[in-house]
Amino acid sequence: MSSTKRSEDSYIVHDIIPAFSQYGYPQAGNRENLKIKSDASISVGSGRSLEPDIVYYANKSPLLIVESKRKNGSEQNAKTQAISYIRFLQFSPHPPKYFATTVGRSIKFYKYFRDEKDGQIIDDSEELKKIITYEELKKLYGIESHKPILTPQTFKELFYDLASVYILGKDKKLTPAIIKNVTLQIYEFLKNQSNYVSKQPYVSLDGYHDRQLAIRELLIKYDWQQSLNEDIGTEFKNQILRAFQGIHLNQFITPSPVVSFMANLVKFTDRDRVIDFECGSGSFISAAINSGVKLENIMGIDIADLPYYVTKTYLALCFGIMGEEIDNIPIQQANGLVNHGNGWDIVISNPAGGNKYDPENTLNDLDQVYRHLSQQMGNKDLRDNPSEYALSIQQAILSCKSNGRICLILPEGFFANSQDEFLRKYISSKCQLKAIVSLPRGIFYKGTTTRTVTSGSQQANQKMSLVFCIKLSKENNDLDYPVFIASLEDKDNLENGLAYILEQINYWQSNQSLNPSTTIISAPKKFQLEPIQPTLIEDKLPLFEKLQRKIKKPKIKTATKIIKSLESLFS
């Protein structure tokens, strides 16, 4: 074989076939569905034969002819040659209807037409507007692919495997960047299965062809259109929350018992319009959806890209949303403190209280915020040292409609510090307070970006409280009404403690007294899963090493205090 011939074959194998494999076409070595040159020889009579560069097959039938030219080659010559090949294949039992040309990195797809006029065969073709994937091409021929349906368990394994593919460091640790890559990879695949290979994070692996191949094989293995449902979305959310543990991403997490408790306070209905202006991992959005709130009546906002993609991907998986419709999912990556409307029935959020809103105004965020929010709250001028919590309280009240429900998580100091009196007066003049619940110290784990209302100093173990109130139709400074106040100290019995408090709130709202017959149930001892950390398996598709360890928990104590007076806090 001449050096020229070897060079041409090498170009096809090492450049053209990998380019098509990005769109799901068979890889080199798949002798059943991929043939090149002499293996794809077409007999034209008189001992002559033609050799297309590539022929792709399915079910033993030719589907696509490919003619390739190097950079600066003639696309017209490639097209003419491809038509000459496909013309002779029209006499086969299942003639191909499509061909493609390549010139350098450029790929064009065509549909072939054959007509007869005055006894003459007329060849014609039409350039297609986009590159057709292998799966799309098979569908055009009526070839059905019977792929397995994703289950929560297989989706969990898929999540682990994708994460392992993106682990490139020597320590093989799960990092925020890897979680973002996995989430973004699923998001881009759902949005455009034909073109996700040209997007981040896939292109970040351009130097790791085996890993890109692993991603493609993982994603095209399943029938996503038939798989997506609430169970798959929930499994994605579970794995995201588990992955967040221990890697300084807890600022995006509100503990699930707290989310459930707040959801029960606001009592979502299918008629409500709900906004979370700092949605984090989307826990409150999830609770609203699970309670029957319609997707079109929800808005989640976060200024950080990771929670934006997590929440949007979760909703796409839950509702089976794919393609361009993903753009219509009501999650925005934006500043949550600008104007997002004022007709919301429920405003529910856990403001991070950090510096994400550019407190020094280096990005001019505050200029935009103050077009919506007031720089003056009572006798306090916010321009000198703006507090995100002060802005968040104002945003919640302005966003909520009259008689709407507001539920926020705020630092404990908000309810007692003398320097925060202006905030207490502001919220009590605009809303009727219904309940304040002090949460155990330590449930917002290390890594949580919580800051004190006034100083902005970070505290990893800051004590927080939640406030539930109803927006008044007009300002009112009359505080002569009862408010339910509770304090829960035992973080190890959080779920049962909050369930007890919720039962007491419901009883109190009907009877204006506590129910003496209920008690807090101690939480049972249980085993905890360690946060997932991957181990890369060389020369194979990377997988996670899944470990489970028994962790001894301290003895459980319960302590719940019910305080009947709010006067000292809001005087």
Which of the 8 DSSP states describes residue 368? H
Q: How far is CA 306 from the centre of its chain?
A: 8
Same domain, 236 and 337: yes
**pLDDT tens profile 497-506:** 999 999 999 9
> Residue 284 corresponds to which tokens in the numbers above?
């409150």
Of 179, 242, 246, 175, the residue nearest 445 (C-alpha): 246
Same domain, 131 and 276: no
Confidence check: pLDDT of 437 > 90: yes
Task: Please tell me which of 167-181, 461-475, 554-568 the model is most confident about, judged by mean pLDDT.
Answer: 461-475
Contact 62, 94 (CB under 8 A): yes
Average pLDDT score, the chain: 82
Torsion angle of the four alpha carbons 314, 316, 320, 323, in this order, in degrees rounded to the nearest 10: -150
Task: Name the strands in the sheet holding 560-563, side by side, starting at the edge strand that comes first in the sequence.
Answer: 331-333, 298-302, 274-276, 344-349, 400-411, 464-471, 431-438, 484-488, 560-563
Q: Kindly state whether residue 116 falls inside one of the protein's structural domains.
A: yes
Rounded-to-integer distance, Cα 274 and Cα 363, Å: 28
pLDDT value for 477: 79
Same domain, 239 and 125: no
Task: Please tell me which of 68-72, 239-243, 529-533 the model is most confident about, judged by mean pLDDT.
Answer: 68-72
Give the CATH number, domain containing residue 380. Answer: 3.40.50.150
Confidence check: pLDDT of 146 > 70: yes
Q: Kindly state whether residue 182 falls inside one of the protein's structural domains.
A: no
> Residue 6 corresponds to which tokens in the numbers above?
């070897």
**pLDDT tens profile 533-555:** 433 333 333 333 332 333 333 33
Q: Give whole-number Cα distances, 223 to 135, 145, 157, 160, 190, in Å.
A: 11, 9, 16, 19, 12
Domain that holds residue 36: 3-140
State the average pLDDT over residues 226-236.
93
Q: Kindly state whether residue 195 falls inside one of the protein's structural domains.
A: no
Confidence check: pLDDT of 41 > 80: yes
Strands (DSSP E) along 394-473, which ranges?
Answer: 400-411, 431-438, 464-471
Same domain, 245 and 130: no
Q: Kindly state whether residue 155 falls inside one of the protein's structural domains.
A: no
Q: Kindly state whether residue 201 falls inside one of the protein's structural domains.
A: no
Higher pLDDT, 172 or 438: 438
Q: Kindly state whether residue 264 falls inside one of the protein's structural domains.
A: yes
Rounded-to-integer distance, Cα 127 and Cα 108, Å: 7
pLDDT value for 184: 97
Percent of the chain with pLDDT over 70: 82
Q: Please state the pTM of the whole predicted model.
A: 0.71
Contact 414, 481 (CB under 8 A): no
Q: Which of 101, 121, 140 is the last residue of a domain?
A: 140
Among the listed ranges 105-114, 243-252, 344-353, 401-410, which one has the minimum average pLDDT value?
Answer: 243-252
Give the CATH number, domain containing residue 32. Answer: 3.40.1350
Q: Which of 96, 119, 140 is the last residue of a domain?
A: 140
Instruction: Please state the domain count of the chain.
Output: 2
Same domain, 115 and 260: no
> Residue 45 corresponds to which tokens in the numbers above?
């009579």
Per the listing, tokens 């249980």 go with: 526
Q: Which of 77, 107, 140 is the last residue of a domain?
A: 140
Contact 144, 214 (CB under 8 A): no
Q: Containing H/E element for 129?
A: none
Confidence check: pLDDT of 250 > 60: no
State the average pLDDT over residues 273-284.
92
pLDDT value for 383: 64
Same domain, 130 and 247: no
Strands 54-58, 34-36: pairing kind = antiparallel
Q: Kindly state whether residue 12 falls inside one of the protein's structural domains.
A: yes
Confidence check: pLDDT of 334 > 70: yes
Which of the 8 DSSP states describes residue 304? S
Q: Kindly state whether residue 262 falls inside one of the protein's structural domains.
A: yes
